[in-house]
């Protein structure tokens, strides 16, 4: 009787590689949000923000309500502070799942605004940012996020576990 033993190995990135990828994605999204927020604050000091954004949405009327889009001025006023806060949290890697979730909500609101304005170029660009945010959110658990303040504070308690033990797979082809 001839018996064949097969060992199946899964090649997945280790914790260092996952942490480096998480760091790269967090820094990219965090820097983008931080710089856009600082740019809006600078424009606010010069007096051109948020009026420019609000004026873009004045002619927009919701088809169902037949009235202008509500809350545009409030959203535009709060947006730079939210972008700076969330961007800083992402860069530091502090409360990463929460900050990635909040940045996703911000990006969805901005996508909605671009869709309401029927701006196809900006809308398609927003999809890339949302996918980047999805990557950050996917890698935000502490076990993939050692190169962050979350990893520094909580990472010692959440080290990655082994996947399991090697075991012999059943021979489905039958021994010949």
Whether residue 135 has pLDDT greater than 80: yes
Mean pLDDT of the chain: 85
Q: What is the pLDDT of residue 129?
A: 95
Q: 49 lies in a domain?
A: yes
Q: 58 lies in a domain?
A: yes
* pLDDT-above-70 percentage for the chain: 78
How many domains does the chain fold into?
A: 1
- The winner for highest mean pLDDT among 18-22, 26-30, 54-58, 168-172 is 26-30
CA distance linking residue 39 with residue 16, whole number of Å: 34
User: Using 50, 70 and 90 to split pLDDT, how confident is the model at 71?
Assistant: confident
Q: 6 lies in a domain?
A: no
Structural domain of residue 40, as residue ranges?
Answer: 15-152
User: Using 50, 70 and 90 to split pLDDT, how confident is the model at 14?
Assistant: confident
Q: 3 lies in a domain?
A: no
Q: 165 lies in a domain?
A: no
Q: 55 lies in a domain?
A: yes
Q: 47 lies in a domain?
A: yes
């Amino acid at each position: 009787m001839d018996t064949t033993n097969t060992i199946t190995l899964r090649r997945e990135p280790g914790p260092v590689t996952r942490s480096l990828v998480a760091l790269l994605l967090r820094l990219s999204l965090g820097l983008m949000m931080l710089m856009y927020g600082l740019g809006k604050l600078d424009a606010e000091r010069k007096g051109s923000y948020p009026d420019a954004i609000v004026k873009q949405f004045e002619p927009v009327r919701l088809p169902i309500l037949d009235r202008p889009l509500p809350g545009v001025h409030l959203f535009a006023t709060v947006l730079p502070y939210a972008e700076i806060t969330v961007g800083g949290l992402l860069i530091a890697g502090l409360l990463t799942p929460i900050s990635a979730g909040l940045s996703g909500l911000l990006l969805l609101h901005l996508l909605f605004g671009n869709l309401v304005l029927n701006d196809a170029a900006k809308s398609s660009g927003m999809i890339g940012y949302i996918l980047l945010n999805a990557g950050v959110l996917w890698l935000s658990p502490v076990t993939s996020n050692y190169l962050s303040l979350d990893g520094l504070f909580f990472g010692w308690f959440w080290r990655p576990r082994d996947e399991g033990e090697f075991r012999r797979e059943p021979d489905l082809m039958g021994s010949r």
